[in-house]
Chains A and B, each alone.
Chain A
Amino acid sequence: MSVNRLFRVGSVAVASLGVLALSACGSDPEPAGSSSPDSSTSSAGAECPKGTLNAEGSSAQKNAIEEVISKYNEKCADVTVNYNPTGSGAGIKQFNASQVDFAGSDSALKPDEMTAATKRCAGNAAVDLPMVIGPVAIAYNVDGVTKLVLDGPTAAKIFQGTIKTWNDPAIAKLNAGVTLPSAPISVFFRSDESGTTENFTKYLKAAGGGAWTGEPAKKWTGTGAGKEKSAGVAEGVKSSKNSITYVEWSYAVDNKLGVAQIETGSGTPIELSADSAGKALAAAKPAGTGSDLALKLDYATKAPGAYPIILVTYEIACTKGLPAEKTALVKSFLSYFVSKDGQASLTDLNYAPLPAEIQTKVEAAIQAIS
């Protein structure tokens, strides 16, 4: 009897959960902004495959790829694209372990990673496709300071910890007419290993005139207090007076933080904008071999109007070797990502679109995937 009762109790529990599970059959929301899905489907040039595409990697491109996926689904409703912003390293690791179909990364594949990626692609090379330009802002929170100008050496000294107060002569010299407090500068850095840190320290090294003593790396070697992820450093600066950090532009804007202008030596301090970030990328040189499109950025660029601290996020995909249906999905999605439509949606999100020249190269590289 009691055993029966226990069984009954168990089955009731299971049944109730089952009912709970099945009572409401879920659905996907209507695509936003697609008033006439038929017309948009018919206007689509590329054919739409069916299936699921899984990707993982850089959190710096999360907002961009999310937006593009959303737009892409208005066109190709039968494709499901999942992107997990766990970090560049995780993305490459999962890609090499065949857990995802492509990876997002803030830096191009390193030689040993390329070896592993080639193995994963059944002996074919993997390709780095630059897809999104994410400018990195030097964000600050100082009462009464609405405009702050920094140059490479000063920024390097602040983040190295050799400049300790806001009214340091070096800062004051660049900001004539601005009342700077005598308070100590609190620096926040990314406590997780991140591509943003790597790109920012590359800038400090290249433009700092020797003031930055560490080597550029994903792990922070300067001064300050560490916070987790971009959200953490942005929140840190927001909630502490007289603080400064480096963070993706969108976080600085969303959290309403001040963004420093950069004096590159071109004559006028450069304000961060989609346009000025795009100009810096145009100055970049290709670093990859063959169809690989890895870029070498010039962080010390003095090109007029170019904002030097940018981060290029790549999609890493197999050139060959994926199952046919996955290949079709990867090609279809990435083609849309790099297309004018795909790139156009990024400016609103505080990313910079790819310059036309690079865009053409990437399009060609995606078409070559088979």
Chain B
Amino acid sequence: MTAIAENTPAYDGKVLDLTGKSGARAFKNTLATVLIVLAFAVAMIPLLWILWTVVSKGYHLLLSADWWSQSQRGITVRRAGGGAYHAIMGTLIMALITALVAVPIAILGAVYLVEYGKGTRAAKVVSFMIDILTGVPSIVAALFVYAVWITVFGFNRVGFAVSLSLVLLMLPVVLRSTEEMLKLVPDELREASYALGVPKWKTILKVVVPTAFGGIITGVMLGLARVMGETAPLLILVGYSKNINLNPFNGFMGALPTMINQDRTELALPNAADRVWAAALTLILLVLALNLLARLIARFSTIKSK
């Protein structure tokens, strides 16, 4: 009994009285169960409602092959037809570049905070900076990149500039969640590894990171989901194009959020409204696909330990 009390970090030394009136404890337990199930139910209502809205209003456009293979070139708000290919590609390209830049920095940064710099002043500074970065609203990140990329360097607005601003948004999400996951890896694992003479870096790569892999993937996916749905940087840093442009370094580029943004002002028109919900559903499905892919990777890399 005392062992439990001691083992549990935040329990302020009070010993749990497990011999008390069982009626009161059972009641508390039931109450907690009811509240938790209730919380779940309350949360599910709006969330399922939103999903239902998007799916029921958007699915029919997605059934046509054109949606996945054509652009919106020449399709005005009043007209039906065309697809979201240009926007899907734009979103994927920008998200991929963002992830390639942000994820390594974020994971290594988290490794630094948890494994190398723990408790040092330098780590506190880094942690402090990440807290600040968490507070950067997307629009300010976009204004910053605009000031650097266009005002100072004189480049044109391109997809890559959007990716740069999205890195600022993705970095803290991935870093913070990775950090939390790494912190939760039990020290026994590290110690067991060190005890066998495995060097620290190998311990991190082979024991710590794989153990936390599921959580890290969740963080990366949350980060990706956030940046793929961002609208403000797209509005400021790249023009929306209804045409296919796969070059992130030249020209206007379509993206799903800006596609939604173009048509959302015309929701009174049925064709435009259809496209809004369909594009939203497409974005959700894209993130879902990436999610599944990541889960598959996570499964292969954690369970298959050889």
Contact = CB atoms under 8 A, between A and B. Distances in A.
Interface of A: 1-3, 5-6, 9, 12-14, 16-17, 20-21, 24-29, 31-32, 52, 54, 56, 59, 63, 66-67, 69-70, 73-74, 80, 82, 84-86, 94, 97, 99-100, 229-231, 234-235, 238, 251, 254-256, 349
Contacts of A9: 297, 300-301
Interface string B281-306: 00000000100011001001100001
Interface in B233-272: 235, 239-244, 251-252, 262, 264-269
16 contacts: A2-B202, A6-B209, A21-B93, A26-B244, A29-B71, A29-B73, A29-B83, A52-B251, A66-B76, A70-B74, A70-B76, A84-B252, A85-B262, A230-B265, A231-B264, A255-B268
A31 B85 CA distance: 16
A36 to B, nearest CB: 16
Interface stretch (B13-21, B62-70, B122-130): B62-70
Contacts of A24: 68-69, 85
Contacts of A32: 74-75, 79, 81
B176 interface: no
Given A28-B70, A84-B252, A20 B92 contact: yes
Given A26-B71, A26-B83, A54 B265 contact: no
B105 interface: no
Nearest to B253: A82
A52 B244 CA distance: 12
A29 B239 contact: no
B206 interface: yes
B109 interface: no
Q: Which A-B residue pairs are the 4 nearest by beta carbons?
A: A26-B85, A2-B206, A231-B265, A254-B268
A251 B301 CA distance: 54
Counting chain B CB atoms within 10 Å of each CB, the highest count among A1, A13, A94 belongs to A13
Counting chain B CB atoms within 10 Å of each CB, the highest count among A59, A74, A82 belongs to A82
Interface in B192-220: 202, 205-206, 209-210
B294 A13 contact: yes
Interface residues of B, number: 54
B197 to A, nearest CB: 16
Contact of A54 (B92, B252, B294): B252
Contact of A21 (B92, B206, B266): B92
B74 A31 contact: yes
A73 B150 contact: no
B89 interface: yes
Contacts of A12: 297
A63 B294 CA distance: 41
Contacts, number: 127
A56 B269 contact: no
A147 to B, nearest CB: 22
B156 A99 contact: yes
Contact of A69 (B74, B157, B293): B74
Contacts of B77: 63, 66
B71 A234 contact: no
B150 A2 contact: no
A65 B157 CA distance: 21
B101 to A, nearest CB: 13
B117 to A, nearest CB: 21
Nearest to A66: B76
Contacts of A229: 265
B86 interface: yes
Interface in B28-68: 66, 68
A20 B73 CA distance: 22
Contacts of B223: none
A248 to B, nearest CB: 11
Given A1-B206, A13-B294, A26-B69, A235 B76 contact: no
Interface in B149-193: 150, 156-157
B248 to A, nearest CB: 12
Contacts of A74: 74
B5 interface: no
A254 B73 contact: no
Contacts of B262: 85
A2 B294 CA distance: 17
Nearest to B250: A52
B136 interface: no
Contact of B150 (A14, A29, A99, A238): A99
B156 to A, nearest CB: 6
A82 B89 contact: no
A73 B206 contact: no
Contacts of B69: 24-27
Nearest to B96: A17
Given A63-B76, A100-B239, A231-B267, A26 B96 contact: no
A170 B112 CA distance: 73
Contacts of A1: 206, 306
A17 B92 contact: yes
Given A16-B293, A32-B81, A26 B86 contact: yes
A13 B297 contact: yes
B74 A82 contact: no
Given A21-B89, A26-B85, A28-B71, 6 more contacts: A5-B210, A5-B301, A24-B69, A26-B86, A27-B69, A80-B243
A99 B146 CA distance: 12
A361 to B, nearest CB: 27
B78 to A, nearest CB: 8
Nearest to B254: A82
A86 B76 contact: no
B268 A73 contact: no
Nearest to B246: A21
Contacts of B205: 2-3, 6
Contacts of A29: 66, 70-75, 81-83
